[in-house]
Homo-oligomer: A and B are copies of this chain.
C-alpha cells in the first residue's frame, strides 16, 4: 500500500503568490522553555531573568526572550516553507510587536509574497511574510524571509515571478510597541550589570564581546527541537555524512542566540530586540566550533513619545574559531572567512 500520509514538504512549484499557510503546531511557552533556553545560551539580561526586576519597572512578569519567540515561530514554518530548502537567504522587516509571557500559546502563519525561479530552473526563491500570534490572534512577531527551494520537477512551470520590494531597515518610528511604558527610575543598573545607557553609546562604537562558546551537537539539537524545527539537516548525521557538508549543519538561529547572549558583555542594558533589519548566515556553523561576537553601533534613534527607552541600531557579527578583538567583518565586498553571522537589528535600552 502506498505511503500517502507523510508530508515531504512543499517544492518551489507548489507555492502561489498570495497563498496563506497556517502552520502547525501551536505551542504553549512555559517557564520550562525559559529555563532550557537559559541552559543552552546563558543569557543574562535582567528583565528576562528576574520576574521581580521586570515587575519593578512595569512588566506584569518577565517577558520571554525575543529570540526564543522568534525561533518558535520560525520552527513552525519549516515543515511548510523550507523542508526542501537549499539555503536560507535572508531576513528583513522583522518586528517584535508585543511581549510574550509564560503560559501563552503561539501559532504562526505565512503569506507567500514573492516567487522567482532561478535560471537553472532547478530551484526558485520563495519570499514569505510570517506572522506569529497569540492564541487570541494578537500578533507578536512579523518578519519576511526568503529561501531557495528545490523544484520537484525542473520542467514544471514557475508558479510566479515577483520579487517583493523589501526595506533595508525597519523604520524606528514603527518600533517600541513591543515594550510597555517603563518606569526607568526603578531600573537597578547595578543589578542589571552595567551603568551604560542610551546616551553612553556612540554611533560607530565597536564592542568586542570577548567571550567564546563552543557548540556541541547535543546542544544545538536540543535547542532546535525545543523550537519544533524539523529541518533534517540539523539532526540526521547518517544522511549528512553522504551530503555536501559531511556533517550536520547547525540551525542558523543557534548562532544568533549565541551571539546575542555573548553581547551581554558590553550591551547589558540593551535588553529587548525590537526589530531585525536584516540578517545573513554568512557561513555554516558546525559542532566543535567556538563562536565569538562583536557589535557596532550603526545608528541611534529616540522612540516617538517615549522618554524611557531609546533604540540602538546594532550590527552584531559572529565568527567561528576567531576572537573578535579586531572586529573582523569584510574586506571590500568579501566577508572575513571566519564570519558566520551578520545581523542588523534595533535593540531598546534605557535612556
Contacts and interface: CB of A to CB of B under 8 A. Distances in A.
A183 interface: no
A111 interface: no
Contacts of A265: 6-7, 230
A105 B53 CA distance: 9
Nearest to A226: B39
Contacts of A290: 236-239
Interface in A26-83: 26-28, 30-36, 38-42, 44-46, 49-53, 62, 79
How many copies are assembled? Answer: 3
A199 to B, nearest CB: 13
Given A26-B191, A217-B216, A5 B267 contact: yes
A217 B222 CA distance: 12
A149 B228 CA distance: 39
A342 interface: no
B192 A214 contact: no
Interface in A198-230: 200-202, 204-214, 216-219, 221-226, 228, 230
Given A218-B217, A225-B41, A290-B239, A193 B36 contact: no
A233 to B, nearest CB: 11
Interface string A261-296: 000011110000000000000000000111010000
Contact of A214 (B79, B204, B217, B222): B217
B211 A235 contact: yes
A232 B238 CA distance: 28
Contact of A39 (B6, B36, B103, B192): B36
A22 interface: yes
A1 interface: yes
B228 A38 contact: yes
Nearest to A40: B222
Nearest to A232: B211
A196 B24 CA distance: 14
Contact of A31 (B24, B30, B201, B289): B30
Contact of A248 (B214, B222, B235, B289): B214
